């Protein structure tokens, strides 16, 4: 779609500004630290294999966190990539926190919603975000989110061997983890399914990063193509098992928006139950 005059790359609300410091400093090196690494490429290839099935017939897709949330520098990088790919006139960019989604989508509807590699883990009120996304999706619209999981044996092993006990268990904290001014939460696949089910039918849950290690623990694979090839092959095998999603660095959840939505929960009640404990 052609960008409208409302397109903006600057954050405008307190909620937006809380996210700026968290990600602006990462913008310059994000691709080198993740996207362009061997493991990053392998994991993104797996995610891409799902996109046609979910969004092949969609005309309008909402991407939450296309620049990793409300970060002007991240969005500038995203816009530069869109321009280099010749598709910038079909994309509308807005620099807002996901909590402020209604400000830029009011009156608009979408056929699908994508969120990749943990952006929704930074949402302050996930049930509220799900309800807002459901209102913007057409009946039968597709949801595909890539979410950071809670139980990650690779992370436990990596940090325990380095003597960093607190980091090894950080995702288990029921109140979430404080990071760069944000609180990051790690819902299990079953918890996220419960949050989605009032508005969505769950189609599929897939592991991502169950056999392949997180990129911060994968430097040795850059130097060992054979080991990388074996682990990538095994990763694609276990990707077929939804049970392994509970023990993965990330997992992919795919769902379909129901034709009839339940009555909205009062805002106060939703805030008190913003994240599962």
Q: Which helix (H) or strand (E) holds 183?
A: strand 182-184
Residues of the chain with pLDDT under 70: 1-34, 66-71, 264-277
Angle, CA 42 vertex, CA 40 and CA 47 arms, to 5°: 90
- Pick the closest to residue 152 from 164, 168, 163 (CA basis): 168
Dig out the tokens for 103 from the structure.
């400000």
Prediction pTM value: 0.84
pLDDT at 269: 46
pLDDT of residue 217: 92
Q: What are phi and psi of 124, to 5 degrees?
A: -75, -30
| Strand 110-115 versus strand 61-63 pairing type | parallel
254 Cβ contact partners less than 8 Å away, ≥ 6 residues apart? 50, 54, 142, 143, 144, 202, 203, 204, 205, 206
- Dihedral angle, C-alpha 110, 111, 115, 121, nearest 10 °: 70
The answer to whether 109 and 60 have CB atoms below 8 angstroms apart is yes
What residue ranges do the domains of the chain occupy? 14-272
| CATH architecture of the domain formed by 14-272 | 3-Layer(aba) Sandwich (3.40)
The region, left, alpha or beta by phi > 0 then psi within -120 to 50, assigned to residue 209 is: left
Q: What's residue 275's pLDDT?
A: 58
What are the structure tokens assigned to 12, written together? Answer: 């405008």
pLDDT recorded at residue 188: 98
């Amino acid at each position: 779609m052609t960008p409208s005059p409302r397109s903006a790359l600057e954050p405008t609300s307190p909620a937006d500004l809380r996210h700026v410091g968290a990600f602006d400093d990462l913008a310059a090196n994000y691709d080198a630290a993740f996207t362009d690494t061997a493991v990053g490429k392998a994991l993104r290839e797996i995610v891409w294999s799902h996109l046609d099935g979910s969004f092949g017939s969609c005309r309008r897709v909402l991407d939450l966190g296309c620049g990793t949330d409300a970060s002007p520098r991240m969005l500038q990088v995203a816009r530069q990539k869109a321009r280099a790919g010749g598709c910038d006139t079909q994309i509308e960019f807005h620099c807002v926190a996901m909590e402020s989604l209604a400000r830029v989508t009011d009156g608009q509807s979408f056929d699908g919603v994508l969120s990749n590699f943990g952006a929704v883990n930074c949402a302050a009120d996930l049930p509220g975000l799900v309800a807002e996304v459901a209102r913007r999706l057409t009946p039968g619209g597709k949801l595909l989110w890539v979410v950071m999981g809670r139980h990650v044996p690779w992370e436990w092993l990596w940090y325990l061997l380095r003597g960093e006990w607190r980091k090894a268990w950080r995702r288990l904290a029921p109140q979430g983890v404080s990071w760069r001014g944000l609180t990051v939460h790690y819902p299990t696949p079953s918890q996220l399914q419960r949050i989605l089910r009032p508005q969505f039918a769950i189609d599929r849950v897939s592991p991502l990063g169950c056999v392949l290690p997180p990129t911060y623990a994968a430097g040795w694979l850059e130097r060992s193509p054979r080991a990388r090839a074996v682990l990538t092959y095994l990763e694609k095998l276990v990707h077929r098992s939804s049970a392994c999603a509970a023990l993965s660095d990330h997992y992919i959840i795919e769902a379909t928006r129901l034709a009839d939505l339940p009555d909205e929960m009062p805002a106060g009640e939703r805030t008190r139950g913003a994240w599962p404990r």
